[in-house]
Amino acid sequence: MSTPGVLLTWALLALLGLGLGVPGEDPLNSCCCPIVPRREWRAPVSRCTEKLQLPVRNVVVSHTAGSHCNSPALCLMQVQNVHSYHTKSLNWCDVGYNFLIGEDGLVYEGRGWDTKGDHTGVNWNPISIGISFMGNYMERSPPPRALRAAQSLLACGVAQGKLNPRYQLRGHRDVQQTLSPGDRLYEIIQTWPHYVD
């Protein structure tokens, strides 16, 4: 199936609230929100080698503060743009986030569950999963389907043993001097279970 066809399938499953099991992958992934694997957004092979100690106890939520995307085609371009900026301009080994959330209701795999990110600085990167919403959420909120995708991803991480069941969730501004994840998104995540300030 072509990449646009696969992305449309992911989008349909996201709208229906269903997961998509991929042959040969962990069956627990089928209970999760649709996660668009790196190969589907045409990510180059990662140069990152540092692993996280699992299960991870912390999650940091940020926003990219750039353009939002509300369709699989636009989100594919946006995640590629973020990757390009992180690897070419910042000279990081890969996109900095473990996962990115699109307004299309899909989760895009960045470094994934196992690899240390470059999202929150030297103190937090080795002990947290970085989830970034693609867009700027200072004055607007992500749509409900994007919020559901992030919450499903967190539940998936616990179910797969990647996240500690008593993980602590923070906004990017809780651990670094930044406006991320934006005022509107920050208000929302403060109401989520596991949030600590």
Length in residues, the chain:
197
Q: How far apart are CA 37 and CA 72, in angstroms?
A: 13
Contact indicator for 74, 10 with CB cutoff of 8 Å: no
Bond preceding residue 144 cis, omega within 30 of 0: no
DSSP 94-111: S-S-SEEE-TTS-EEESS
CA 53 to chain centre: 18
Q: What predicted TM-score, i.e. pTM, was given to this entire model?
A: 0.85
What value does the mean pLDDT take over residues 173-187?
A: 97
Q: What is the mean pLDDT of the chain?
A: 88
User: What are the backbone angles phi and psi of residue 66, rounded to the nearest 5°?
Assistant: -110, -150
Q: Which DSSP category does 51 fall into?
A: B
> Which DSSP symbol is given to 175?
H
Per-residue confidence (pLDDT) for residue 54, from 0 to 100: 97
Select the more confidently predicted residue: 10 or 156.
156
Q: How confident is the model at residue 34 (pLDDT cuts 50, 70, 90)?
A: confident
111 touches 95 (CB < 8 A): yes
The CATH fold of domain 54-190: Lysozyme-like (3.40.80)
Please give the pLDDT value at position 197: 82
pLDDT at residue 165 greater than cutoff 60: yes
Q: Give the 3-state secondary structure percentages of the chain, helix then strand then coil, rounded to 5.
A: 35, 15, 45
* Tens digit of each residue's pLDDT (9 = 90 or more) over 119-142: 999 999 999 999 999 999 999 999
* Digit-coded pLDDT (tens) for 39-70: 999 999 999 999 999 999 999 999 999 999 99
Question: Domain locations in the chain?
Answer: 54-190
